[in-house]
Amino acid sequence: MISFLFVLTAAVFLTGIINRTRALLSGRKGVRLFQHLYNVRLLLSKGAVYSPVTGALFRAVPAVCLAASVTAALLVPMGPYPALLHFEGDMVAFAYLLALSRAALILGALDTGSSFEGMGASREALYGALIEPGLFFFFGTLALMTGHTSFTSVFGALGAGTPEMVVVTVLLAYILVKVVLVEGGRIPVDDPRTHLELTMVHEVMELDYGGVDLGLLTVGSWIKTASLATVAAGTIASVFGQGGASALTVCALVAAVGVIVGTVESFRARNRLNRNATYIVTVSALALFAFLLVYVLSLNLNIE
């Protein structure tokens, strides 16, 4: 239960940390730390208006996205505290729950019949197909290092490793931060602040949602980002911690992910759309490199 509550708390704080970091680096006062909570509260207090061309699928998408994100958060451990739900193979379930959220949002966008939302859905489907191999190579690398396919078992078995494994783990954490940028629709792949339909990716699929539906989608996105950030923090904290990662270390590293995302958004422009595919494939290729590196190290080759 503690791990699940931590992910929910991280979901609340991460967006505020990103906003405050971006404001600080831009020399602005910026919004207050929890302004995004007031915005969502306003959305949740409103009703929903539906286009007559949409059906039951469109109306069910916000609940499906939120449920998938919450269920994925149940599988994420936090430092010494195990996940609320844990079993062998839960890493695969985690990846497919994120994919379910994306697929539901894509189908909801297509259900509107809007050319703009269809364009955003096609981009989201492409980016998801390109980043998922990297996510599975990340999980495969952890499984190869520990012999487990559960987050709770993996983080408990990593411990203090050899210098080679420490380097690999830092590389894995770097890869997952890149995945956070892609999955969260953040710069350099997308810009959550843009209002230009022709260049939007994630946000354009939510154009027909409003009120409580948009609030549910927003909260689901926060939880998904927090879950990925907690996995990244837990990975690097476990290999540097003696006897497992401490809760304080994981908290600090999750906050660091928010600072990193805010820094990237402050100093880097969004990629041109024709460069996004190359960027995402590079992330997956880096994950494949980490997997092959761990495989070679596991062979204990003695080359004379």
- Of 131 and 241, the structure prediction assigns the larger pLDDT to 131
Q: Give the model's confidence band at 58: pLDDT under 50 very low, under 70 low, under 90 confident, else very high.
A: very high
d(CA 149, CA 264): 31
Residues of the chain with pLDDT > 90: what percent? 55
pLDDT in tens, 183-206: 888 888 988 777 776 778 888 898
Handedness of CA 142, 144, 150, 155 (dihedral sign): negative
**Predicted confidence band of residue 304 (pLDDT cuts 50, 70, 90):** very low
Is pLDDT above 90 for 284? yes
Q: Give 120: exposed, middle or buried? Use CB within 10 Å, 0-12, 13-18, 19+.
A: buried
Tokens of 239: 């290999």
Task: Report pLDDT digits (tens) over 237-251.
Answer: 887 765 456 788 889
**Which one is predicted more confidently, 245 or 38?**
38
The amino acid at residue 132 is E
**Cα–Cα dist 6/137, whole Å:** 26
Q: Which of 41, 77, 48 is nearest to 63 (CA)?
A: 48
The pLDDT, as a whole number, for residue 66 is 96
The DSSP code sequence of 154-169 is: HHHHH-S--HHHHHHH
What pTM was computed for the model? 0.92
Nearest to 200 by CA among 109, 260, 120, 108: 120
Per-state percent for the chain, helix, strand, coil, to nearest 5: 70, 0, 30
Secondary structure of residue 53 in the 3-state scheme: coil
- Would you state the pLDDT for residue 301? 53
What residues contact 298, with CB distance under 8 A and at least 6 apart?
144, 145
**What mean pLDDT is reported for the chain?**
88
Tens-digit pLDDT profile for residues 14-29: 999 999 999 999 888 8
On the question of pLDDT at 227 being above 90, the answer is yes
Average pLDDT over residues 113-136: 91
Nearby residues of 292 by Cβ (< 8 Å), 6 or more positions away: none
Distances (CA, A) of 134 to 11, 58, 94: 23, 29, 14
The whole-number pLDDT of residue 132 equals 92
Residue 38 pLDDT: 93
Residue 161, pLDDT score? 62
Q: Is residue 224 a contact partner of residue 14, using CB atoms and an 8 Å limit? A: no
State yes or no: pLDDT of 7 exceeds 90.
Answer: yes
Indicate if the pLDDT at residue 213 is higher than 90: yes
Q: Which residue has the higher pLDDT, 197 or 1?
A: 1
